[in-house]
Every structure is written in C-alpha cells, then in structure tokens.
Amino acid sequence: MENVSLTAIGRSARRAVIGAVKTTGDTAKAIVEAIRDVLLTTVDGVSQVTVAAEKGVAQIITGAIEAASEVGEDILMAIKSAVHGAVKGASEVGADVGKVAVKATEEAIKTAGNVGANVSEATKHAVTGAIEAADEIGTEASKTVRNVLSSSIKGAKDIIKTPFK
C-alpha cells in the first residue's frame, strides 16, 4: 500500500525500488541505481540543484527504505544502498555532495527507526554508504563527506575511524 505521507518524489522512489528488487538478483546495485535515477530526474532542469537535491532526497530515501521493508528486503542493505545512490546522484548533477550526504543519512536513520530497524546499525550503514559513494567520486568529495558527517551525525565519528588521506 502506498504511503500517503510521501510526496510524488517519495512515491516514485518507492515504486522504483520495489520494481528494481523484484526484477534483479543484485538488490544493492538495483537500489543504488534506482535512487540515483530518481534523484537525477528530480533535479532535472532546476537552477538551484543543491537545494532541490536536499529537499528531494529526504522523500527519496524514505520511499526507498519503506519499499525495501514492504517487500522483505534487508533494511540495512537498503539504507546503505539508498544513501550511496543519493550521494552518487548528487555528484552527477553538480549538487553539494556533503549537504546531500548529511540529509540522506539523517533521513535514513529517521526512517529506519520508523520501520523498526536498529537505529545504531542504521547509522553505521547510512554513514558507510555515503562514505563509499564519496570515495568513488574522488578525494575532495571523500574529505568533504567525512568532515560533514563527523560534525553533523551523532555517532559518525566512531564509524569514520580512519580519515581519508
């Protein structure tokens, strides 16, 4: 059943994730790609890309995690993959990856609690997803995401043990 509190963007992310996990054997990759695609569509043609990405990513992450929960997928894997996809998508559209990483991580943690997942484990997976995406993007993105998560997300400093050099 569709979550009526989700915006059209959130419902699109939810449907994309459900479709992706039902049609592929690699659920983590499918979620990363689905979230990335929804974020890219959300900010297409928008002049203030970072603002649009930040606003949209909360609904996108919520929709993705709720969808994974609904179809019985591993919530923690979905959290990591959704945040990863959001950060990668932010980079591709020229949005501030640090701001999007923080917003995506915050929303993933909040939604994890709402669907009954362990918030501490959700934090670990969300932070890890953001960092892995940033590492794939490059050195500056990696440093930025590590710094903003360490200062913005409770418990992130403990998860980010080795600073990027």
High-pLDDT (> 70) share of the chain, %: 79
Question: Among positive and negative, which fits the CA dihedral 50, 109, 113, 67?
Answer: positive
Q: pTM (2 decimals)?
A: 0.79
Share of the chain above pLDDT 90, in %: 42
Residue in this structure with the two tokens 């990027």, named with its chain if needed: 164
Half-sphere exposure of residue 73, counting CA atoms within 13 Å on the CB side? Answer: 31
State the residue for tokens 């917003």: 103
Q: pLDDT band at 71, cuts 50/70/90?
A: confident
pLDDT in tens, 107-153: 999 999 999 999 999 999 999 999 999 999 999 999 999 999 999 99
pLDDT (0 to 100) of residue 1: 41
The domain limits of the chain are: 8-159
Token pair for 150: 């360490």
Instruction: Give the pLDDT band (50/70/90) at residue 2.
Output: very low
DSSP assigned state of 73: -
Two tokens, residue 133? 């995406």
> What's the pLDDT at 163?
47
50-60 pLDDT, tens digit each: 666 677 788 88
Q: What is the pLDDT of residues 19-48, one digit of tens each?
A: 776 666 667 777 777 777 777 666 665 556
Burial of 51 (0-12, 13-18, 19+ CB in 10 A): middle
pLDDT score, position 97? 93
